[in-house]
Amino acid sequence: IRDAQLLVNRVAVTVRGVNRHDHSSTGGKAVGRDLMLKDARLLKQLNFNAVRTAHYPNASEWYDICDAFGLYVVDEANVETHGFFVKQDEGMLAKRPGWAGAFVAR
């Protein structure tokens, strides 16, 4: 990054990305290679060059496909605690130092 511009091999890059959930309408969380390839082709057809794995790491094959298609990946770890309410404090676990190891390990 130089002067607030992302550079790849000293060339300025504009990131055009989209969120992707590793999900199939027929297989649920079991996403096959054919659907992954379909997703990657669609992203390229629509001129996206990046994808964010929303909320959790995806199947390892997805990363190989992204590499083959030239897609940048923003990989998100599953370290969210929303939905876990104690005294209406949604981020309670994330605020406790004792949970740091568990978050980092994920």
Q: What is the pLDDT of residues 6-45, one digit of tens each?
A: 999 999 999 999 999 888 889 888 889 999 999 999 999 9
Q: What are phi and psi of 50, to 5 degrees?
A: -150, 155
Q: What is the pLDDT of residues 81-101, one digit of tens each?
A: 666 666 677 677 777 888 888
To the question of pTM greater than 0.85 for the whole model, the response is no
**DSSP assignments along the chain, one per residue:** -BTTB-EETTEE----EEEE---BTTTBT---HHHHHHHHHHHHHTT--EEEE-SS---HHHHHHHHHHT-EEEE--S---TT--BTTBTTTGGG-GGGHHHHHH-
